[in-house]
Structure 1
Amino acid sequence: MKKKEKAALSQIEWLESKLEEVEEKIKSKEYSAAVTQNELKDLYFQQGKYYSDLQLMKRVPEYD
């Protein structure tokens, strides 16, 4: 039985990609002298938000 191609990203896949993007931004800015504390604080907040949403979505059962 062949698996169908996905029409779009699932919510979990989308959240994982956004989380990765934010983590990359954090890594690139953590050691930069030009970054402000508010920028880093906002990025850490976004990281926590995406992480918590992702963990919540993983608990939701999948539907076919």
Structure 2
Amino acid sequence: MDRDQDIDEGFGSALRRSYGRFAWWIVRLNRVLEPSRPAEPPRTQLPPRAAVPPRRSIPPRPE
């Protein structure tokens, strides 16, 4: 193998590793700084049903 290629591969893996750490820290900070959301209160009643007019039956067609 070529010596320059070895150096490039080592640099690439080090760059990937440091980028991975950087991304991990961003995600961690995001979670810490994100305001906590209050839990949704439990539903005591079912939501009202939409008012749909009843279907009219169609009389049979005369033959």
The reply to whether TM is greater than 0.5 is: no
TM-score (norm 1): 0.40
Bigger CA radius of gyration: 2
Q: As a proportion of its length, which structure holds more helix?
A: 1
TM-score (norm 2): 0.41
User: Larger RCO: Structure 1 or Structure 2 (Cα < 8 Å, ≥ 6 residues apart)?
Assistant: 1
